[in-house]
Amino acid sequence: MAIKTRRPTGIVPWPLILLEGGEKSGKSWACAELSASEKVGQTYWLDLNEGAADEYGAIPGARYLVIEHDGTWAAILNQVSEVREEARRAADAGEPPVVLVIDSMTAEWDLLKDWAGNRAKGSTSNQKRLRADPSAEVQVSMNLWNDATARHRRLMTMLMTFPGIVVVTARGKEVASLDQSGRPVEGSKDYKVEGHKNLAFDASVWVRLSREHAPIVVGARSVHAGIRPGVDKPVPAPQFTLEWLVFDALKCNPVEAQVRALTTTKAGAESPDGEDLSAKAGELLALAEDASSEVELRRVWDQIRPALDGQEISAGEADRVAARIKALGAQLAAGTEAAA
């Protein structure tokens, strides 16, 4: 098969900006302020559990539209898709760029965590636990966390390939540092952006706002911003506005800007290396993947030896099933710690 290549364009793509910080630090205000810029077209504001959209419409020059939704994931995703199509139409027509504001991504991830928790309550193991103790902790299995992450990833892919400007907000704060055992480290603090753990990775620009100091550009995927990771410290920007960031610092040119060239990977469902499994080995792997607790994984584990002795599976298949059960057990343990 021939090598398939192309030359890089060098064009600045449309930005996905993460604007995070503590409470009342000006995140929503900055978004409303951007909508007043003559350099942008229509701004659409998706409010998730913040409630700032109506009041900030009184900011001089602000001209955004508030997206209405019923709070469900389907409605939120549908509205983002509709705005994305409008942004594509505006870009194709040569109009000023559409802006999408999501305030906030902290609430988005909270919604997905609640969804995973609600689903977990219906599992057999949790139902039994709750019957014995209505106040018992609901254990969310790793497969449910994976489903929540898949929903988040679908939204982020839409935002990362948005043909216009996207600004998402999130809450950020200092939290107690934890050691390897999960215990607080006295006198030590870490900074945490509240949202999905990959939120800052997916953003092309990361800005931190504070009530105590000037806005800081924590990081930017940019040839023009001049921030060298590991060399330069985050850059204070006392002159900060989102208009300055997009058009002056990042040098985004609406005439030639393009969406990120993002080719999503396609996992498929084929066997590793084309290996064909016996029916029994496939059944055991499926049971292991569906297990929502260590008890259920143990039941699958206990079936390996009888299946091997009965020549329903090969020694290689037995090893593969055992290895997968161990990996899933580690994921379940990690998921329980993450939920806590």
Q: How many domains does the chain have?
A: 2
Query: Across the strands, what pairs with 209?
Result: 21
User: What does the pLDDT look like over 242-269, one tens digit per residue?
Assistant: 999 999 999 999 999 999 888 877 776 6
Is residue 40 pLDDT above 50, yes or no?
A: yes
- Tell me the CATH number at 221: 3.40.50
Residues 77 and 25 in one domain: yes
Is residue 233 pLDDT above 90, yes or no?
A: no
Task: Give the Cα separation of 291 and 142 in Å (integer).
Answer: 9
Lowest-pLDDT range of 123-127, 179-183, 257-261, 335-339 = 335-339
- The model's confidence at residue 273, banded by pLDDT at 50, 70 and 90, is very low
Top pLDDT among 204 and 178 is at 204
pLDDT at 157: 94
Is residue 97 pLDDT above 60, yes or no?
A: yes
- The model's confidence at residue 1, banded by pLDDT at 50, 70 and 90, is low
User: What does the pLDDT look like over 5-15, one tens digit per residue?
Assistant: 999 999 999 99
Looking at every residue in the chain, the average pLDDT score rounds to 89
Q: How distant, in Å, are the alpha carbons of 51, 107, 237 from that of 102?
A: 12, 10, 23
Residues 201 and 125 in one domain: yes
Residues 238 and 307 in one domain: no
Q: What are phi and psi of 152, to 5 degrees?
A: -60, -40
Task: Say what the pTM is.
Answer: 0.76
pLDDT at 242: 96
Closest by Cα among 313, 310, 327 to 281? 313
Residues 28 and 133 in one domain: yes
Angle of CA points 97, 112, 48, to nearest 5°: 45
pLDDT at 123: 86
Residues 240 and 287 in one domain: no
Q: What residues make up the domain containing 85?
A: 16-249
Share of the chain above pLDDT 90, in %: 61
Domain assignment present for 265? no
Is residue 274 pLDDT above 60, yes or no?
A: no
Q: What would the two tokens of residue 59 be?
A: 């900011």
Domain assignment present for 107? yes
Residues 226 and 285 in one domain: no
Residues 47 and 194 in one domain: yes
Domain assignment present for 6? no
Is residue 50 within 8 Å of 104, Cβ to Cβ?
yes
pLDDT at 56: 95
